[in-house]
């Protein structure tokens, strides 16, 4: 998720203090290019920076050692297909000694695990070659449990080889089932089509699997000791919290703090979950977003370049998966993904540049029961710190509100769904568009009093009915805006049960700035959590996020998604509230909330979505697959039939007509691409039951007298600095 980088830029005191101390400590560090010397220096720097600069530093003790040990071993071998139980028994001797080795710059544990992993990987190369040399027997009644977390380590080489057999067999079985179905469909469509034989298809799946594994080990061969040491260092960093990370030199160069640039590739954000790469967000306007097939929660199993054979990316480093997915504009990438419902699907996407216009605020107008309502979709809180003349979210939202007011709207929806955050200064300015003046958010650094960031401009851009839409992927700055409007009683927050729950601020510290007169090479950087932000009522958005006033079922209702699902996530806490008063609008809001809850409970569409969410939650826990061809096909057919019950969710359509504003209609006449984008957006809104309910809430707010809010605060708060 995006960090609040405008506030990060202000934390020079922390960095300056570290610089002074580190220069004193390491000015005379011995000049050496030896890997061990560089690694020892990196351990010393990392421990120092995290303990002195982290918001809530942890004691590097036995408990910390135990946590790092678990994360590191899982990161090295998440699918448990390399290490033996005897290896783990040997490693376990160091489970409570990692803290001592960090403090003493001792590399014994890392060297042991690294050398053993290289040995086991070399051994495993022969496994798959032997296994794929002859056909699998798909008539056997055997199963494979893919719950790697609970799976024990193999206790012998023969047991490990059998695990490889089952893993590979499951992959080829899935591919064979797809190929057989494809041939069957072709034969049905064309009576003259000569279908490929079973033997040919079975052979193709083994050849494809072998090439995929060849490519995987080719990637592994390209990794050097420094890459593996970065995994160890990251296990230490992430032991503090999930947003504290180490960036190796190559990763540091790619880390982009800007939130105003363009995005290339397919337009999707990925994260590593155990052995798998998961889609966490689709970037508005990108190829994947336009294609409408990929969804957050999908797991990428294989990646293919155009018509080439797909490469298995299970177990591959996230960075390497990204390299395979990225490519030149206009080229094709085919992703084999496991959907949230457990089905396997091949999705073809043509790579493109995500146009920056689609990351900007956009608006539409719609009529309901003789009233006109405005919708502003805000994908992120963008700003360009280097050039204040460029667009920023606060200016754009203010402009869209003025344009909507000219259309005589009677209510406004701020759509913050999938908004991963961005500029803190921008969110304060946007909140100020809806209130007279007053505090918006509180920020606290370790050992310091909280700072209240407030809107001091008494001008109110929109004082009418307001609804804010959030979902599980609304994070960081978007949570601040929703929380502030909720605390003031200024608007109704509807959507997922709660938002993402990221209530922390990070700083990036270049480790090379902390050392001089050293020739060990580039040391990389550390991104560490230095602050937390809080609602004006004193509660943190960390972990708990923002709870919707009206919680509406969605497909993730019963699946843990968000900060609460992250290991070592920082805890929720509370500080003193800021000085503020709620709006007189609160009575109208409460009535609208109660009406909305009744509608949602009675809605057939939302009932079906809730049933689907429960089914998806159940499916997510079903991790045992049959390796018998007929049984596997039967299970997949059953899965497909069950999922058909929920197909009508996507067929839902309202009667509302969404329109672009006059200024944009003039642009659309000259720009066919913009026309297509807006038509697509309006088509999505027409099928959006959540937006329909947002309009219902606005309608309720309009039907209650005294809907103009009046917000008073006891005193003028400190304004945020530019």
Residues annotated as catalytic are: 476, 487, 502
Cβ pair 421, 1 in contact under 8 A: yes
Decide: helix, strand or coil at residue 683. Answer: helix
Lookup: tokens for 146: 């893919």
Q: How far apart are CA 478 and CA 721, in angstroms?
A: 20
Alpha helices in 148-259 (DSSP H): 157-189, 198-222, 225-237, 249-254
CA 112, distance to chain mean position in Å, is 33
Cβ pair 537, 577 in contact under 8 A: yes
Question: Regarding beta strands 504-510 and 451-455, do their DSSP bridges make them parallel or antiparallel, or are they unpaired?
Answer: unpaired
List the one residue out of 515, 525, 510, 519 whose CA is nearest residue 37.
Answer: 519
97 phi and psi angles, rounded to 5 deg:
-110, -5
Q: How far apart are CA 140 and CA 138, in angstroms?
A: 6
Alpha helices in 327-474 (DSSP H): 393-406, 424-431
Where does 274-339 show beta strands of DSSP type E?
A: 276-282, 299-305, 311-312, 332-338
Residue 544 DSSP label: T
Cβ pair 425, 477 in contact under 8 A: no
Lookup: tokens for 104: 């003493």
Residue 406 DSSP label: H
Cβ pair 164, 126 in contact under 8 A: no
Measured distance between the N- and C-terminal CA atoms of the chain, rounded to whole angstroms: 23
Decide: helix, strand or coil at residue 607. Answer: helix
Q: How far apart are CA 160 and CA 147, in angstroms?
A: 16
Lookup: tokens for 106: 């001792």
* DSSP conformation letters of 29-87: ------HHHHHHHHHHHHHHHHHHHSSSPPP-SHHHHHHHHHHHHHHH-TT--S-BHHH
Question: Regarding beta strands 504-510 and 525-534, do their DSSP bridges make them parallel or antiparallel, or are they unpaired?
Answer: antiparallel
- The neighbouring-strand residues paired with 302 are 312, 336
Q: How far apart are CA 641 and CA 662, in angstroms?
A: 46
CA 313, distance to chain mean position in Å, is 19
List the one residue out of 304, 261, 260, 268 whose CA is nearest residue 286.
Answer: 268
Cβ pair 502, 29 in contact under 8 A: no
- Whether the CA torsion 304, 307, 308, 312 is positive or negative: it is positive
Q: How far apart are CA 663 and CA 685, in angstroms?
A: 20
């Amino acid at each position: 998720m995006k960090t609040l980088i405008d506030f990060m830029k202000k934390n020079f005191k922390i960095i300056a203090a570290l610089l002074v101390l580190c220069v004193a400590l390491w000015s005379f560090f011995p000049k050496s290019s030896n890997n061990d010397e560089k690694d020892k220096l990196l351990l010393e720097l990392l421990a120092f920076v995290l303990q002195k600069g982290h918001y809530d530093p942890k004691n590097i003790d036995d408990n910390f050692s135990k946590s790092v040990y678990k994360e590191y071993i899982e990161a090295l071998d998440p699918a448990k297909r390399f290490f033996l139980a005897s290896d783990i028994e040997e490693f376990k001797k160091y489970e409570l000694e990692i803290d001592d080795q960090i403090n003493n710059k001792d590399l014994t544990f890392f060297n042991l695990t690294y050398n053993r992993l290289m040995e086991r990987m070399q051994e495993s190369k022969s496994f798959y070659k032997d296994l794929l040399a002859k056909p699998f027997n798909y008539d056997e009644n055997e199963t494979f449990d893919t719950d790697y977390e609970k799976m024990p380590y193999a206790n012998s080489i023969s047991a490990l080889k059998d695990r490889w057999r089952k893993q590979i067999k499951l992959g080829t079985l899935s591919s064979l089932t797809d190929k057989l179905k494809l041939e069957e469909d072709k034969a049905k469509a064309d009576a003259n089509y000569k279908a490929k034989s079973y033997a040919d298809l079975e052979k193709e799946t083994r050849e494809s699997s072998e090439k995929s594994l060849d490519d995987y080990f080719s990637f592994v061969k390209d990794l050097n000791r420094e890459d593996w040491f970065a995994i160890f260092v990251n296990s230490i960093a992430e032991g503090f919290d999930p947003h504290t990370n180490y960036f190796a030199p190559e990763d540091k160069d790619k880390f982009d703090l800007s939130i105003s640039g363009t995005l290339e590739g397919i337009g999707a954000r990925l994260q590593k979950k155990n052995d798998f790469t998961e889609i966490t967000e689709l970037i508005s306007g990108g190829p994947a977003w336009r294609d409408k097939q990929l969804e957050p929660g999908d797991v990428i199993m294989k990646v293919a370049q155009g018509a080439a054979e797909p490469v298995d990316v299970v177990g591959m480093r996230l960075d390497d998966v990204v390299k395979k997915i990225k490519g030149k504009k206009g080229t094709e990438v085919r992703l084999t993904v496991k959907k949230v419902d457990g089905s396997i699907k091949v999705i073809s996407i043509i790579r493109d540049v995500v146009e920056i216009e689609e990351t900007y605020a956009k608006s539409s107008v719609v009529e309901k029961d003789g009233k006109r309502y405005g919708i502003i979709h805000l994908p992120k809180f963008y700003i360009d710190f280097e050039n204040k003349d460029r667009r920023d979210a606060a200016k754009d939202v203010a402009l869209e509100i003025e344009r909507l007011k000219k259309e005589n709207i009677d209510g406004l929806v701020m759509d913050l769904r999938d908004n991963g955050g961005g500029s803190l200064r921008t969110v304060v300015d946007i909140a100020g568009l809806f209130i007279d003046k007053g505090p918006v958010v509180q920020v606290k650094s370790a050992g310091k009093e909280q700072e209240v960031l407030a809107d001091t401009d008494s001008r109110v851009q929109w004082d009418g009915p307001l609804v804010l839409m959030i979902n599980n992927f609304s994070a960081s700055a978007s949570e601040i805006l929703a929380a502030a409007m909720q605390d003031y009683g200024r608007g109704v927050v509807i959507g997922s049960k709660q938002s993402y729950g990221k209530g922390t601020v990070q700083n990036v510290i270049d480790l090379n700035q902390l050392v001089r007169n050293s020739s060990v090479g580039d040391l990389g950087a550390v991104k560490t959590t230095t602050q937390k932000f809080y609602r004006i009522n004193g509660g943190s958005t960390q972990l708990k996020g923002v709870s919707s006033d009206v919680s509406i079922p969605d497909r993730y209702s019963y699946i843990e998604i968000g900060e609460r699902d992250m290991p070592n996530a920082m805890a929720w806490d509370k500080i003193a509230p800021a000085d503020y008063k709620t709006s007189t609008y609160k009575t109208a809001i409460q009535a609208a909330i109660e009406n909305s809850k009744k509608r949602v409970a009675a809605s057939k569409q939302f009932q079906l979505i809730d049933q689907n969410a429960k089914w998806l939650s159940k499916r997510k826990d079903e991790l045992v697959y049959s390796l018998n061809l007929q049984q596997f096909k039967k299970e997949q057919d059953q899965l497909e039939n069950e999922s058909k019950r929920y197909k009508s969710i996507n067929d839902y359509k309202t009667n509302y007509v969404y329109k672009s504003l006059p200024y944009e209609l003039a642009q659309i006449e000259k720009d066919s691409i913009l026309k297509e984008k807006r038509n697509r957006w309006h088509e999505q809104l027409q099928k959006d039951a959540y937006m329909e309910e947002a309009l219902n809430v606005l309608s309720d707010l309009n039907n209650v007298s005294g809907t103009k809010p009046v917000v008073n605060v006891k005193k003028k708060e400190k304004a945020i600095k530019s």
